[in-house]
Structure 1
Amino acid sequence: MRLFENYAASCRPKSKKDFNVDQLANLLQSLQMDEVATKAYNSLFFSMADMQIEKFMGKWYTVVDSKEVHKEDCSIFYFDMVLQTPYTATFTSKQYGVINNDVVTNEGYGSMVGPEPGAVLITTGSERDQCPFFPVRIGGLSDEGEYQYMILSTPLKYPTMVLTRDLTLFETKWKREVYDFVEKNGFMSPMAALNTRLHFTDVDVCRKVNKLYENGNV
């Protein structure tokens, strides 16, 4: 399927051997068969509707992450639109996280090449993210019409991140829904990373260690 071809083309060439990247390469190779690709597509995007990319922009808190890959704690993402047409878009991605009490920054980009599920790709800019992420679930709409949480992952269902607009609302309204989704659908402890589980962030700790949590502008 064209979607997986676009995804494979968006991965950076690896500079050294990486087991997860090799797994992904093997999977993408198998996805050249239509039947396998269709099954994989349905497994990843069965709960996704067409994306409205403008509702995707702004500030997001990372509340769930694959810590074996992402060493940053308490990460915050900012997505800002650069160019948009009715069916395509380009936007910037900036991530601020904390490692050993130091703030680290990753700068990447995102793109949309159609309204259908899987058409949005996000490259974080982190050296540990060889390939981009795509949304596999989005939830909630605020009074302003913005998405309230989203689950980002890859064809391997690893690594996976969950981002939210509102930390308090996520804890009280969305956390159980997200937990049930990742547990039921193979994201919590994926086959690609046995003996690992997604890490749910302690937001009270993050409010103390990352001053950007309460800062509206960076």
Structure 2
Amino acid sequence: MIILLLISFTLFAAINALGPVRPFLPPTLPQPGRDLPVMRIFENYAASCRPTNKRDFNVDQLASLLQSLQMDEVAIKAYKSIFFAMGDMQIEKFMGKWYTVVDSKEIHKEDCPIFYFDMIMQSQFTATFTSKQYALLNNDVVTNEGYGSMHGPEPGAVLITTGHGSDQCPYFPVRLGGLNDDGDYQYMILSTPLKYPTMVLTRNLEKFETEWRQEVYDFVEKYGFMSPMAALNTRLHFTDVNVCRKVNKLYENGAV
């Protein structure tokens, strides 16, 4: 676990040296996991983070320690520990409206968030899409706008920025639920190499409560997303959807 955390921390060591935020990978790059080394995937992830002057960890010492390790082997272990539950992505089934039913409340202070993902451009193995979030903060509706990119069909190929002020780095999908009658994903778990912050989104609130809530809880608890070391013992928050229905009119507004 310590080694996996170390490889994650070094991603953020590179952030301060990045300068301006770099765009996601162009479609001409090789598909990750087949032609692109796993370590390159993590480097590209770090390059997609916003620069910051704040340093919560002694990243220089961690980076020096990692230089003495077998980087490729460590990177592969870290990659597998995050994406073991993921198959190839069908990005078109990712689009549409999602309710946030699990969140990292220490990072996201808003209540009852709703996401909308809309496709901008798609080819066989690449895609670009928008991310828009509506939520409540002190009884006011706040909006965050981000974007996403897919540069291959495999796990680790999809990065999502939320536009939230506290989200310095993008999210990966790390687990996708079963398909519904329309062939769309039913729920998804979004996280980072540190397994924090983490969010769980669902399309159907009722089915999540009756069919997938326990499955999601078991997954995030068993595999270190529920209360990772990076979260300083802060556990994930499961949303009370009944309360959200009463206070967030956007929940039932299909036009938003």
| Category of TM-score, reference length = shorter chain | over 0.9
Q: Give, in angstroms, the shift of residue 149 of structure 1.
A: 0.1
User: What is the match of residue 177 of structure 1?
Assistant: 215
Is structure 2 residue 207 aligned with structure 1 residue 165? Answer: no
Q: How far apart in 2 are the matches of 1:138 and 1:103?
A: 28
Tell me what 2:180 maps to: 142
* Candidates 101, 114, 132, aligned match of 1:76: 114
Other structure's SS at 1:112 match: strand
Is 1:19 matched with 2:66?
Answer: no
One-letter identity of the residue aligned with 1:56: F
CA contact (8 A) 1:189 1:198 kept: yes
Equivalent in 98, 103, 125 of residue 163 of structure 2: 125
Structure 1-normalised TM-score? 0.94
Q: Distance in 2 between matches of 1:108 and 1:182?
A: 25
Equivalent-residue separation in structure 1 for 2:201 and 2:66 (angstroms)? 30
1:130 corresponds to which letter in structure 2?
Answer: Q
Q: Determine if contact 1:148/1:166 at 8 Å carries over to the other structure.
A: yes
Q: What is the CA-CA distance between 1:19 and the residue it aligns to?
A: 2.2
User: Does residue 93 of structure 1 match 2:131?
Assistant: yes
Q: Is 1:37–2:75 an aligned residue pair?
A: yes
8 Å contact kept, 1:98–1:210: yes
Amino acid at match of 2:119: M
Distance 1:69 1:19 in 2: 14
Aligned length: 214
Q: Is the 8 A contact 1:30 1:36 kept in 2?
A: no
1:146 and 1:168 map into 2 onto residues whose CA distance is 16
Contact 1:108–1:124 (8 Å) recurs in 2: yes
Identity %: 78
| Helix, strand or coil at the partner of 1:13 | coil
Partner of residue 148 from structure 2, selected from 102, 110, 129: 110
The CA deviation at 1:205 is: 0.3
Amino acid at match of 1:68: E
Rg larger in structure? 2
- Deviation for aligned residue 1:193: 1.2
Deviations 1:140-193 (A, max 9, x none): 101100000000000000000000000000000000000000000000000101
Tell me the equivalent position of 1:67.
105
Greater strand percent: which structure?
1
Question: Which whole-Å CA distance do the structure 2 matches of 1:180 and 1:18 have between them?
Answer: 32
Equivalent residue for 1:48?
86
Please give the alpha-carbon distance, in whole angstroms, between the structure 1 residues aligned to 2:170 and 2:254: 26
CA–CA distance in structure 2, aligned partners of residues 50 and 96 of structure 1: 29
Amino acid at match of 2:134: Y
Deviation at 1:2, TM superposition (A): 1.9
CA RMSD of aligned residues (A): 1.8
Match of 2:251 among 208, 213, 217: 213
SS in 1 for 2:82: helix
Deviations 1:80-115 (A, max 9, x none): 000000000000000000011000000000000100
**Runs of 5+ in structure 2 lacking a partner?**
1-38
Instruction: Write the distance in 2 (CA, Å) between the matches of 1:194 and 1:70.
Output: 15
Aligned partner letter, 2:198: T
Which letter does structure 1 place at the counterpart of 2:245?
R
2:186 partner SS: strand
